[in-house]
Amino acid sequence: MRYLVAGASGYVGQAVQAALLHAGHRVVAVSRRGDACPGAEPIAQDLLATDLKPLLLGVDGVVNLVGVLRERPFAGTTFERTHLGVARRLTESAAAVGVRRFVHLSSLAASRGARGRYFDSKRAAEKAVAQTLPGATVVRASLVFGPGSPLQKGLDRLAALPVAPVPGLPHTLFDPVHRDDLAVLLASIVADGSDAVPLSLEVGGPRRVTLAEMVDWAAAARGRRIPVPKWCVPLPLLSLLAAAGSRWPTLSISSVPLEMLTTPNTTDDDRWRQWVPHPASPF
Ligand SMILES: NC(=O)c1ccc[n+]([C@@H]2O[C@H](COP(=O)([O-])OP(=O)(O)OC[C@H]3O[C@@H](n4cnc5c(N)ncnc54)[C@H](OP(=O)(O)O)[C@@H]3O)[C@@H](O)[C@H]2O)c1
């Protein structure tokens, strides 16, 4: 079968390409940069800038992973244009050419009340997908971890400090999910020919952790004694810095990661384990 991965060059996208190729499928890997795994068909395309129907002809399914963490309004990149705009264009074109399966990756934090334009656009994109393609599957994932993940890089920076600044509520809970497990899930669902695929799934890993525990875990991996002393930076202060686009010396603070790290991000939905029975624990 032949599957299109939109946002294929990204952190999750690379693993989804690998999972689909590993399962013996052909992969069309689309992003503006056009990076693709060996064996995939690279397409460098801004998905906001062209008629998408020709791209989708002959494709059996689509995995939509397109996202941005920062807006660049002068370059035409906003959360709404990217998340809602691409989701709408992809699903409308997929409906027009009769693509059989569509899987859309969204954020669990968005359904847990996270605030701001990023999360508004994620919620709007989910709605557009469900309205345009009622058979599509929306997957809402908790924080994604794995080697080289933005989460891992942030934790490593914090864990290297004598005192680790953590935003506001260090006891907020997360169910981090490994990128490769999420990728196997997305690849399995898009390739699932049955009628039993759910319309939405929440995905969290097997271990429930706090941000403070994650910092200690990163510190232990560096051979450091734990627990690392923590400085709970008041949220109003961080929100001000984030709103001003300022940067924290150790962790770049924009409003999206700040909201991600302060919104409880857990789920008891374990239906995804039928595709990934033994998901990895972060530590
Ligand atoms: N990482 C997490 O912790 C996490 C957790 C829950 C949900 N998610 C969601 O999962 C999705 C993927 O996450 P990720 O971490 O892999 O993000 P990522 O590394 O930033 O990847 C985003 C991808 O979107 C592509 N893209 C952005 N704008 C595009 C456009 N106009 N046309 C075509 N491609 C475009 C980017 O490639 P180019 O820049 O080359 O175009 C890149 O391939 C996102 O929607 C994110 O919200 C992520």
Which DSSP string corresponds to 200-269?
EEEE--S--EEHHHHHHHHHHHTT--SSPPEEEE-HHHHHHHHHTT---SSS---HHHHHHHHS-B----
User: What does the pLDDT read at residue 166?
Assistant: 85
Examine residue 70 and state whether it is found in any structural domain, yes or no.
Answer: yes
pTM score: 0.95
> What per-residue confidence (pLDDT) applies to 244?
65
Looking at beta carbons, which pairs linking 213-220 to residues 24 or more positions away fall under 8 Å? 214/151, 214/155, 214/174, 214/176, 214/282, 215/155, 215/158, 215/159, 215/164, 215/166, 216/159, 217/155, 217/282, 217/283, 218/152, 218/155, 218/156, 218/158, 218/159, 219/159, 219/164, 220/283
Decide if 259 is inside a domain.
Answer: no
CATH code of the domain containing 119? 3.40.50.720
User: How big, in percent rounded to 5, are the helix, strand and coil portions of the chain?
Assistant: 40, 20, 40
Among the listed residues 122, 124, 15, the one whose alpha carbon sits nearest the alpha carbon of residue 66: 122
Q: Is residue 132 part of a domain?
A: yes
Q: Determine which helix (DSSP H) or strand (DSSP E) holds 82, and give its type and residue range.
A: none
Q: What is the mean pLDDT of the chain?
A: 92
Ligand 1 binding site (Cβ under 6 Å of any ligand atom): 7-13, 31-33, 46-48, 65-68, 82, 86, 105, 107, 141, 143-144
Closest-lying ligand 1 atom to the alpha carbon of residue 47: 32
Could you tell me the distance, in angstroms and rounded to a whole number, from the CA of residue 24 to the centre of ligand 1?
A: 24
Q: Is 38 exposed, middle or buried (0-12, 13-18, 19+ CB in 10 A)?
A: exposed
User: pLDDT tens-digit profile of 70-128?
Assistant: 898 889 899 999 999 999 999 999 999 999 999 999 999 999 999 999 999 999 999 99
Residue 192 lies in a domain: yes
What the block records as the tokens of 75 is 């370059």
Q: Which range marks the domain in which residue 18 is found?
A: 2-142+178-204+266-274
Which residue among 30, 64, 105, 138 is best mutated to probe the pocket of ligand 1, counting the most ligand atoms within 8 A of its Cβ?
105
Domain count for the chain: 1
158 in a structural domain:
no
* Cβ partners under 8 Å of residue 11, min gap 6: 144, 146, 148, 149, 150, 179
Q: What is the pLDDT of residue 206?
A: 97
149 domain residue, yes or no: no
212 part of a folded domain: no
Whether residue 232 is contained in a domain is answered as no
Output the residue whose Cα is nearest ligand 1's atom 19: 10
For a mutational test of ligand 1's pocket, the pick from 4, 5, 11, 12, i.e. the residue with the most ligand atoms closer than 8 A to its C-beta, is 12
Residues lower than pLDDT 50 in the chain: 246-251
Structure confidence at residue 89 (pLDDT): 98
Q: What separation in Å is there between the alpha carbon of 33 and the centre of ligand 1? A: 12
